């Protein structure tokens, strides 16, 4: 883990205890909503893997897993506006109850793309569970069945969220206080 005295770590936005309590509540809600069914959790790599792991353990039903990797950011902190699939699913979605697990919804571009793509695969149902939603960043209000937290429109790291593949292992979510990757600052 990174040292907690790392100058890149800003104010904590969602603490470890808050995360675990909300994930337990989401797990209970999903368990009730999917009673008698075995949802397929589709994680969006890499950011959602930590959240999805804890969420799956909080769901008291048989669940299956699959993963997709998409790219719209690269190493930047703002979306490029172009979404592409880097790793596709291994499991056929036909007739399955699919729960798309996202780490963060920012502009909504990636989510919109994924929904269209997954709906075309004929699942029985398709819902979204997002750990974080950045307030005011979406071009239109996304329809999300399950949301962990709404946060200010600032760049955050931790609990799966990264900068240049670092900080994913923080047990909390905090503001990024470092220089923005790919942006040169003048002094």
Is it the case that residue 156 has pLDDT exceeding 60?
Answer: yes
pLDDT in tens, 129-148: 999 999 876 666 568 999 99
Q: How far apart are CA 96 and CA 122, in angstroms?
A: 8
pLDDT in the model for residue 119: 97
- The reply to whether 2 falls in a domain is no
Q: Print the domain residue range for 139.
A: 9-175
Say if 181 falls within a structural domain. Answer: no
* pLDDT over threshold 80, residue 2: no
Res 150 pLDDT > 50: yes
Q: With 0-12 CB in 10 A as exposed, 13-18 as middle and 19+ as buried, what is 66?
A: middle
* Average pLDDT along the chain: 88
Express each pLDDT in 40-60 by its tens digit. Answer: 999 999 999 999 999 999 999
CATH number, residue 24: 3.40.50.2020
Can you give the chain as a three-state secondary structure string? CCCCCCCCEEEEEECHHHHHHHHHHHHHHHHHHCCCCCCEEEEEECCCHHHHHHHHHHCCCCCEEEEEEEECCCCCCCCCCCCEEEECCCCCCCCCEEEEEEEEECCCHHHHHHHHHHHCCCCCEEEEEEEEEECCCCCCCCCCCEEEEEECCCCEEECCECECCECCCCCCEEEECCCCCCCCCCC
126 inside domain:
yes
Least confident of 7-11, 30-34, 107-111: 107-111
Question: Is residue 129 in a domain?
Answer: yes
Mean per-residue pLDDT, 97-114: 92
> What's residue 106's pLDDT?
86
Q: In this model, does residue 92 exceed pLDDT 90?
A: yes
Q: What percent of the chain has pLDDT over 70?
A: 85
- Within-domain flag for 185: no
Average pLDDT over residues 159-163: 95
pLDDT at 79: 53
* 187 in any annotated domain: no
72 or 65: whose pLDDT is higher?
65
The domain tally of the chain equals 1
Within-domain flag for 183: no
Active-site positions? 106
pLDDT of 3 above 70? no
| pLDDT of the residue at 107 | 81
pTM for the whole structure: 0.87
Question: Is residue 186 assigned to a domain?
Answer: no
Q: What is the pLDDT of residue 187?
A: 35
């Amino acid at each position: 883990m990174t040292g907690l005295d790392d100058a890149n770590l800003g104010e904590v936005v969602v603490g470890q205890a808050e995360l675990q309590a909300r994930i337990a509540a989401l797990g209970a809600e999903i368990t009730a909503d999917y009673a008698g069914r075995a949802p397929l959790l589709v994680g969006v790599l890499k950011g959602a893997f930590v959240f999805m792991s804890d969420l799956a353990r909080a769901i008291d039903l048989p669940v299956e897993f699959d993963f997709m990797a998409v790219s719209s950011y690269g190493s930047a902190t703002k979306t490029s506006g172009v979404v592409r699939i880097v790793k596709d699913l291994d499991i056929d979605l036909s007739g399955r109850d699919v729960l798309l697990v996202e780490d963060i919804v920012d502009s909504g571009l990636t989510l919109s793309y994924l929904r269209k793509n997954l709906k075309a695969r004929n699942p029985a149902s398709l819902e979204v569970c997002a750990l974080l939603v950045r307030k005011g960043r979406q071009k239109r209000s996304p329809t999300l069945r399950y949301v962990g937290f709404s946060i200010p429109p600032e760049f955050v790291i931790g609990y799966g969220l990264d900068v240049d593949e670092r900080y994913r292992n923080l047990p909390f979510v905090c503001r990024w206080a470092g220089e923005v990757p790919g942006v040169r600052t003048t002094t």
